[in-house]
Amino acid sequence: MPAPATSREPSRPRPKGETLAVLRLLAQLGADHTAVVLTSREVGERIGMSQQAADRYLVALEKRGLLTRSMAQRRQRLSLTPAALDLLRAEYHGYRRLFEGPARLTFEGKVASGLGEGRYYLSQPGYVVQFAERLGYTPYPGTLNVRVEGEALRRVGLVAHWTGIRIDGFQASGRTFGGATCFAAQMNGHACHLIHPDRTHYKDVVEFVAAVRLRDALPVRDDDTVSVELQES
Amino acid sequence: MPAPATSREPSRPRPKGETLAVLRLLAQLGADHTAVVLTSREVGERIGMSQQAADRYLVALEKRGLLTRSMAQRRQRLSLTPAALDLLRAEYHGYRRLFEGPARLTFEGKVASGLGEGRYYLSQPGYVVQFAERLGYTPYPGTLNVRVEGEALRRVGLVAHWTGIRIDGFQASGRTFGGATCFAAQMNGHACHLIHPDRTHYKDVVEFVAAVRLRDALPVRDDDTVSVELQES
DNA sequence: ATTACTAATCGCCGAGTAA
DNA sequence: TTTACTCGGCGATTAGTAA
């Protein structure tokens, strides 16, 4: 019998030991946006470990795809990968929440027409039962898509690190349906939820569900600009 | 021959292993403001370690003065000490600076008369030479004291975690002069520096130096309200 | 000088268990 | 049940070097 599908997909295994310290040091020295020239000895000194240990961390980080090393025989040029920055940002957000409380975010976007996928997914009982239970309502069977551009897109990407309401993936009809995380939102003042699928590949469109058909309730049509307020839970 | 006095006093030894993870977990569960009842097994589960390892961490944290445990024989009530929160806040600030850049802070306070100590310290050559070299000017031999109250006092306390311009301690005339950290500031629009001595015991008065006598340059007198803008470097 | 391998050592983890 | 000790094992770290 397989394990229950209650696993929380987006909670990565916590990086162990001084891995984060090394990544943070490199980021502080600018390896997040430019290549940085450092010897393993220098890295070790700053973290408080031997040259050998520092070197092993650097090698391990490269193997895990968190660090790019271009070895110039003498010295190595180090730069962090986007995955490493994601890791650091998740860590940052964990601390931020401690001292600043749940995050909020306001952005604007334009209503876009989807491909009708939303209706298909939101008619799957596996999703409906979870939405009803965890959001407190049965969503209207269809999503409202909002296209986000430019700087706002980057900000909206931060929700990937937020804690929200989990919707678990499941198997049905011989295929797999992925999980997602939901965040309470107000669109033009109307309560709804942003749906952030686990398998998101940095799109410029975000999806919303609500108890009613948002296009009628707001009301809005394609290309109308809407204002969204998000709240971490 | 002793080591050069260039040591940076306020950089603590980095906590090792999963110490920070345990502290952060406890803070997330509310141990920062209330006592939290948790078994060592529960702590271990959440961090991903055994009951024994978690227990060792709890015992070690208590020994280091970071955690208060009131053992009720069956279960322990855990609460973090201010020192632990300081540690977490320092960690938070390190990450914050990565993603948000140097911190800024604006507050108001009232000009207060000091005890004339400022003049004494600022006439010590050991300080003067460092100020001249690292601040870029020879300060007027006297500090302007500003009294801060209420919520602003808490915010000003955050500079303890900032990175600033170091002034190192030294020995002279048979006594010890402590180090300090300086931060660029604007008081009522006039450039100056806030001096944060290493040995500060949460006072409600902060000291400023400038190239000229600030009381004349602004001008201000005792009990006048001044507005200060701080900038991390 | 570097990086990074090997060997010896250290220390942390988890199992077992006492109180 | 708890907390928390001892002990065996193994992964991590450092010293010594090779390249």
Structural domains in chain A? 16-86 (1.10.10.10), 102-231 (2.40.30.30)
pLDDT of residue A6 exceeding 50, the answer is no
Query: Among A213, A165, A210, A164, which residue's Cα sits nearest to residue A191?
Result: A210
Best B98, B154, B233 member to test A by mutation, with max A CBs in 10 Å, is B98
Distance A232 CA to D10 C1' (A): 42
**pLDDT confidence of residue A12:** 66
Long-range contacts of A7-10 (CB under 8 A, 24+ apart): A7/A168, A8/A166, A9/A169, A9/A179, A9/A198, A10/A160, A10/A181, A10/A198
Q: Among candidates A49, A43, A32, A39, which has minimal Cα distance to A77?
A: A39
Distance measured from the CA of protein residue A38 to the C1' of nucleotide D17, in angstroms: 22
DSSP, collapsed to helix, strand or coil, labels residue A29 as: coil
Looking up tokens 């960690």 gives B91
Percent of chain B with pLDDT over 90: 83
Cα–Cα distance, B92 to B86 (Å, whole number): 10
Which nucleotides in chain C lie closer than 7 A to a protein CB?
1-6, 12-16
Distance B66 CA to C17 C1' (A): 29
| B10 — pLDDT class (breaks 50, 70, 90) | low
The predicted structure's pLDDT at residue A118: 87
Nearest CA in chain A to B97: A28
Residue A26 belongs to what H/E stretch?
helix A19-28
> Which residues neighbour A125 within 8 Å (Cβ) at sequence distance 6 or greater?
A172
DSSP-assigned letter for residue B59: H
pTM for the model: 0.88
Q: Which H or E element spans position B166? A: strand B165-167
Give chain D positions with protein CB within 7 A.
Answer: 1-6, 12-16
Confidence of residue A4 (pLDDT cuts 50, 70, 90): very low
Q: Return the residue matching tokens 């004349």.
A: B216
Helices (H), B122-177: 125-135, 150-157
Residue with structure tokens 């040591």?
B7
What are the tokens at B107? 């507050």
Residues 25-84 of B with CB under 7 A from strand D: 38-41, 51-52, 55, 58-59, 69, 71, 74-76
All residues of chain B having their beta carbon less than 8 Å from the beta carbon of residue A95 are: 24, 88, 91-92, 95-96
Residue B168: its H or E element: none
Q: What are phi and psi of B6, to 5 degrees?
A: -90, 10
The secondary structure of residue B102, as a DSSP letter, is S
- For nucleotide D16, the protein residue with its alpha carbon nearest to C1' is A52
B132-146 tens-digit pLDDT:
999 999 999 999 999
> Cα–Cα distance between A101 and A194 in angstroms, integer?
20
Q: How far is the CA of B108 from the C1' of D1 (A)?
A: 55
